[in-house]
Structure 1
Amino acid sequence: MTCICTPLLHRPEAAGEARRITKEVLARWRVAEEAADSVLLTVSELVTNAVEHAQPPLALGLSRDPGTRRVHIEVSDGGPAASQGAWAAGCAPEEHGRGLTIVGRLTAAHGHRRAPGHATHWADVNAAV
């Protein structure tokens, strides 16, 4: 299994940085374009959620299992923040809150693990290579 793990700065630009890193990794792994699009959107949603709703530190993990043809995504953070980020706090309720619904539709499976001071949100995307 091939695995990439990289820390991200806990700021709004982290989603763009995570997409850039992910796009490079998926190209090296020769993941098909449609699957790559699902992986990129999933990464973007999970990182954005971590920036808006969790504390630092923030890290992105990507792995690929050639046997199952899945890309495994993990976004780790410092656990729930005491208050929402500036973007979510400034939005009307109907303007946010759909990220995990999107992740659920794009992925074969997703979930989270929590420990004191730490949370990991993960997702598996079927990917033809």
Structure 2
Amino acid sequence: TTPATLSELPSTWTLPHTARSVSTARRLAQAAVAGWGMNDDAADSVLLVVSELVTNAVEHALPPLTLHLGRPDEDGTMTIAVTDGGPATETGAWISTCTPDEHGRGTSIIDFIATNHGTTTNTNTNTTTHWATLPTT
């Protein structure tokens, strides 16, 4: 399940609400998982889920954009979360210019990789957090 509060996740970065933030988020996550000594397969899965969640936030949601990474737990899992400003009324620039077969697989990818994932809406702050729990071993 999602952590009780995002403050439980040790690594948090606020990113610009732009397409460039996808590669920035990947670099930040890559540095974090390398520091945690995660094996290559688990690290690749983390980077893929980070990319999908941040891309979805940029293309389908309003700012702000915050990436949260949880350090791997003793149970062999970690949490990745992206908080955004909730659904946008228009799609992002990339989605509006690509063909239907170039997008739309992100949730399926996360569903395949994650042991659990979901969405939490905070009506007090008008934000939405999309999260996933992944195996790290």
TM-score w.r.t. length of structure 2? 0.89
Q: Which moved more, 1:66-75 or 1:23-32?
A: 66-75
After TM superposition, give the deviation of residue 81 of structure 1 in Å: 0.5
TM-superposed deviation, 1:2: 6.2
Instruction: Name the residue aligned to 1:127.
Output: 136
CA 1:93 to 1:63, structure 2 compared with 1: closer, same or farther past 3 Å? same
Residue number in structure 2 paired with 1:13: 20
What is the letter of the counterpart of residue 57 of structure 2? A
Query: Aligned residue for 2:46?
Result: 39
Residue segments in structure 2 that go unaligned for 5+ positions in a row: 1-7
Distance 2:9 2:111 in 1: 24
Structure 1 segments, 4+ long, off by >3 Å, are none
Q: For this pair of structures, how many residues does the alignment match? A: 128
Match of 1:106 among 109, 113, 123: 113
Q: Distance in 2 between matches of 1:110 and 1:52?
A: 19
| In structure 1, distance between residues paired with 2:72 and 2:19 | 30
Identity of aligned residues (%): 44
Alpha-carbon offset, residue 95 of structure 1 = 1.9
* d(CA) in 1 for partners of 2:9, 2:53: 21
**1:50 paired to 2:57:** yes
2: CA distance, partners of 1:2 / 1:48:
21
Name 1:66's counterpart in structure 2: 73
Q: Deviations over 1:17-75 (max 9, x none)?
A: 00000000001110111000000000000000000000000000001243211121000
Structure-2 change in CA distance of 1:36 and 1:96 (3 Å): same
> 2: distance between equivalents of 1:27 and 1:2?
17
Gaps of 5+ in 1: none
Report the Cα distance in structure 2 between the residues aligned to 1:125 and 1:104, rounded to whole angstroms: 10
Matched, 1:88 2:99: no
Asked if the contact 1:2–1:65 (Cα under 8 Å) also holds between the matched residues in 2, the reply is no
Letter in 1 for 2:136: A
Aligned partner of 1:37: which letter? D
